[in-house]
Amino acid sequence: MKRMSWEEFARSMGVEPQILENKEARLLKQFVMDLKFPTHCQGCQGLDLNNPNPVHHPSYELTPACNHDCIFCYSNVAVKLGKAPKPGYYGWEDPYAITVSQYGEPLLSPRIVEVNKMLRERFPNARLDLQTNGSLLTEELWKKLDFDLVMISLDAASREKHLKITNADTFDAVVNALKIVGNDKSVRSVVRTIFMPGINDEDIPKIAELAASLGIDEMMLQPLTIHELNVERLKKAGLDFDRAESVREFLKAAMEAKKHIDVRISGCQLAIYRTMDPLTLFSARRIARDVVPIVKRERKER
């Protein structure tokens, strides 16, 4: 007996087969295929899906302290649990890039200029990335720093919303920092924004438009990771936990931001999304809950 395809079987039963179409799913898939990997993610092990245990770029940690107290922050969770990394270099020799830093606010440290110079001299071929909330960046300090890429965190488009998210009245200072780095075309400037549906989803295109108007090159939009110690704070702020786990909702927010700026999403996630067919991508969900992040890299020095 000849084996029939599902289309032939359907017709034999008097039913004309139809291919399930989903226009929005196809648009999301095309959007994902057209996206570029974030500049910060270039050279990262996470882009290689064949790597069973990828680690992030090396980092130099200066301090776990911060002048913001963001309602979603993993760094303050690490501090509360006694898991924050000690100051020093976490990585290996001859790195592609080094991030200063992933925990705390590096510009709080009086050693920021000294460490910046040390890293430039010790790793002359490495791309140096500064990750900061921007509130302490001034023209005077900027002239003393030497980075290739600067990521400034901004998750709200108004002073009131910024205060609600960060518990710090520093919105104007952060906007000024974006202006400072946006004016310096020798550096790649990035605004880093966390997608928090129910809290800041309406702000994201406004942040993109604001950043673009200040000369910022790129927006790195990241999904929210919900750490247990932050659940109540996020709930009180109005987070839609269901939408926070939806890949579709996250990509739709990125599509809106793309109308204003060169938006990009986390490289390791983009690599995975590109492997999905449109309908899987459309319905995919990510596990947003997590414990405190662990630094996988070995600490080399203080």
Q: What is the DSSP string of the chain?
A: -PPPPHHHHHHHTT--------HHHHHHHHHHHHPPPPGGGTT-GGG-TT-SS--PPPEEE--S--S---TT-HHHHHHHTT-PPPSEEES-SS-SEEEE-SSS-GGGSTTHHHHHHHHHHH-TTSEEEEEE-STT--HHHHTT---SEEEEE---SSHHHHHHHHSS--HHHHHHHHHHHHH-TTSEEEEEEEE-TTTTTTTHHHHHHHHHHTT--EEEEEEPPEEGGGHHHHHHHT--HHHHTBHHHHHHHHHHHTTTS-EEE-HHHHHHHTTS-HHHHHH-B---EE------SPEEE-
CB 24 within 8 A of CB 282: yes
Provide the edge-to-edge strand list for the sheet that holds 149-153.
Answer: 263-265, 218-223, 188-195, 149-153, 127-132, 97-100, 59-61, 88-90, 299-301
Report all structural domains of the chain as residue ranges with CATH numbers, in order of start.
Answer: 27-300 (3.20.20.70)
Beta pairing, strands 188-195 & 218-223: parallel
Residue with tokens 């999301």: 28
Tell me the C-alpha distance between 123 and 119, whole Å.
Answer: 6
Report pTM: 0.90
d(CA 7, CA 133): 56
Distance CA 121, CA 29 (A): 43
Q: What is the pLDDT of residue 17?
A: 61
Rg (alpha carbons) of the chain, rounded to whole number: 21
Q: Identify the segments of the chain with pLDDT beneath 50.
A: 302
- The alpha carbon of residue 168 and the mean position of all alpha carbons in its chain are separated, in whole angstroms, by 21
Residue 14: per-residue pLDDT: 76
Distance CA 269, CA 283 (A): 15
Can you say whether residue 126 is alpha, beta or left, with left for phi > 0 and alpha for psi between -120 and 50 degrees? beta
Q: Which residue, 180, 89, 196, is CA-closest to 137?
A: 180
- Residue 10, judged by CB atoms within 10 A of its CB (0-12, 13-18, 19+), counts as middle
Give the tens place of pLDDT for each residue, 177-222: 999 999 999 999 999 999 999 999 999 999 999 999 999 999 999 9
Q: Which two tokens stand for residue 184?
A: 């310096």
Distance of CA 159 to the CA centre of its chain: 22
One-letter amino acid identity for 32?
V
20: Cα separation from own chain's centroid: 33
pLDDT, residue 21, reads 61
CA distance 79 to 124: 32
